[in-house]
Amino acid sequence: MPSRTTHYRCLPSPIGELLLTTDGDALTGVHMEPHEVRDGWRRDDALLGPAAEQVRAYFAGELRDFDLPLSLEGTDFQRRVWEALRTIPFGETISYGELARRLGRPTASRAVGAANGRNPIAIIVPCHRVIGADGTLTGYGGGLDRKRWLLRHEETVLAE
């Protein structure tokens, strides 16, 4: 089976430039700076137009739930964690332990944290909504300042 071409688009945002990727059928990545455009990838702003518009609407406070086809490649456990992340409502947070309990693996909070950290589709698969058991902001691939910004943004949108 031939390998699929990855298409990309760079998108400015309030938290820095985002790199959106697709396999042509579904969104495969939303990456924060620093990010890398790999050899062989093709820029295609039109193909990623719907994803870019939804991300822009999210940052404008006009969108709370994304409606995009996603392709999440990972282990079975990682995909279960990422699907569970998508059930956390806009503006709400849960702990890693709670997410592990929801998955039926109450002692797997560290494994949940590791899977969370490997989430390839930031913001849309809202890993920023997972916090420490004591309410502190912990571990975020995009950095804690971005996590804090995203959570405050959602809080502000809900308050309006």
Q: Would you name the residues annotated as active-site residues? A: 127
CB atoms within 10 A of CB 142: 20
Give the list of residues 6+ apart from residue 60 with CB closer than 8 angstroms, or none.
none
CB-count exposure of residue 87 (10 Å: 0-12, 13-18, 19+):
exposed
Using the structure block, give the residue that is written with the tokens 């916090």.
Answer: 131
Q: Which long-range contacts (CB under 8 A, 24 or more apart) does 142-147 make?
A: 142/15, 142/32, 143/32, 146/15, 146/16, 146/32
| Secondary structure (DSSP) of 57-105 | HHHTT--SS----B---S-HHHHHHHHHHTTSPTT--EEHHHHHHHTT-
